[in-house]
Amino acid sequence: MKLLLPLFSVVLLYSCSEPKKPNTGIEIYDTDIEEIIDVTASFEVIADSIALPEGPVWDDSNQRLLFVDCLNDQIMQWTEKKGASKFIAPGGNTGYAPNLGQGLLGPNGLVIDNEGNLLVCQHGDRRVAIIENTTTEKPSYQTLVDNYQGLRLNSPNDLVIGSDGSVYFTDPPFAFFDLSNFSFVATEMRELDFNGVYRYNRKTEGLTALSRDVSIPNGLGLSPDERFLYVNSMGAPFSQSTPKIMRIDLSDMSQSIFFDGEELSKKYNDGTDFDGMAIHSSGTIFTSGPGGLLVISPEGKLQARLNFGQITNCTFDAKENYLYVTGFVTNPKVFRLKLKS
């Protein structure tokens, strides 16, 4: 028995110290990114059976993740203890504005302002609205912005807030998208003849069109120094353009292609497009794209691919301990990935 105990201790010590195996869903192309990404971390499913999860934002004051179910027109919440549950409904289509009456009419992008209120991009109501960050099934939304030069917006999709309180948002025409034919519908309800990228000044209530040239603008993000606004431009079947990330220099409003996704789109051909994105404090861009979730340096270099399958969007918690990822209709889950702090 005395001889067996040391042998058992050696076996136990070896089993405890055995290194973790790399996650085969994480492909690293630049090892510098391993300062942020733990290649042994697993893709954890924290919510399932959501029709179309989108618009994730971390609510640090309540230690919860907020996200939307766009197809079921509701805002959801997730906590470590209670899991996922309905938070606010309806979320994007209250009858405020004319729309097709079907399709992608729920809420999409979410952000929390400095006062703790929730800003919501509403496809059906075709506006950016604001509401108290509290559970309700009788929501009282206040309109933040719903028109450009007197013409009703298309359907605000995603948004971020600058340090001065300015609200940047995209306005593609998803309020006029026919899911049955997977195409946009020509309708007199649409008043603007372009899909804009905007900045809204909450102090002056002025709305500026930063770009009219992005074919189908979707997710967006600010660089940490707030000099650059990155905008995801969707490709086929949503537009005739190739999928890419555009970059707007906010100092002079010049616009350029930051990352071209054409080759990746041909390589993976998985139906995943440039949708939502999140900007790490290092300036690294985490974005949905062809092949899953792409990790791109501030210089435009592809550093990693995280193969969650088809996804829509992502965000970080306040301390960037976790990356949260929302899946597409064919992959209706919410994931999280432990990062290196």
Q: φ, ψ for residue 276 (rounded to 5)?
A: -90, 160
- What pLDDT does residue 17 have? 57
In the chain the domains, ranked by start, together with CATH numbers, are: 53-212 (2.120.10.30)
Query: Do 217 and 231 touch, CB atoms closer than 8 A?
Result: yes
- What pLDDT does residue 10 have? 46
State CA 307 to chain mean position distance: 16
Would you tell me how many other CB atoms lie within 10 Å of the CB of residue 179? Answer: 12
Q: Can you tell me the distance from the alpha carbon of 288 to that of 111, in angstroms, rounded to the nearest whole number?
A: 18
- What pLDDT does residue 16 have? 54
Which has the closest alpha carbon to 330: 231, 182, 206? Answer: 182
Helix (H/G/I), strand (E/B), else coil: 162: coil
Taking the model in full, what pTM does it have?
0.93
- What pLDDT does residue 242 have? 86
Q: What sign for the dihedral angle of Cα 164, 166, 249, 243?
A: positive
pLDDT by residue, tens only, the chain of 341 residues:
444 445 445 444 444 556 789 999 999 999 999 999 999 999 999 999 899 999 999 999 999 999 999 999 999 999 999 999 999 999 999 999 999 998 899 999 999 999 999 999 999 999 999 999 999 999 999 999 999 999 999 999 999 999 999 999 999 999 998 888 888 889 999 999 999 999 999 999 999 999 999 999 999 999 999 999 999 999 876 777 889 999 999 999 999 999 999 999 999 987 778 999 999 999 999 999 999 999 999 999 999 999 999 999 999 999 999 999 999 988 999 999 999 97
User: Long-range contacts: 248-252, Cβ < 8 Å, 24+?
Assistant: 248/197, 248/210, 248/211, 250/210, 250/226, 251/227
Q: Can you tell me the distance from the alpha carbon of 91 to that of 122, in angstroms, rounded to the nearest whole number?
A: 7
